[in-house]
Amino acid sequence: MKVNRIVLLAGVVGIILFFVAAIYFLEPAQSLPHFFPGYAPQLARHHFTHGVASLFLGLVAFAIAWFKSGEKSSK
């Protein structure tokens, strides 16, 4: 079975975004990696909205992979 590049890319991006969401939910702002948006060495709070946004974008990436991997219509 031939795997479409868009399906593979969307799946990988979805997995990465789920890991990013988990990091946002579990780590406070001062413990985030320096390249993450929301990193602030003086803040001890969690970036819940960043985590929700990453989770939503991961779900969108998985939806794209799902719909692109379906069978083509035979009209």
End-to-end CA distance of the chain: 22
Q: Residue 42 contacts by C-beta under 8 Å, 6 or more apart in sequence?
A: 30
Write down the pLDDT at residue 36: 82
Per-residue model confidence as pLDDT tens digits over 20-40:
999 989 888 888 887 887 777
Question: How many domains does one find in the chain?
Answer: 1
Q: State the pTM of this model.
A: 0.82
**Which residues of the chain are modeled with pLDDT < 50?**
none
Write down the pLDDT at residue 74: 65
Domain assignment present for 27: yes
Domain assignment present for 74: no
Q: Which two tokens stand for residue 73?
A: 């219509």
Write down the pLDDT at residue 58: 97
Containing structural domain, residue 18: 5-68
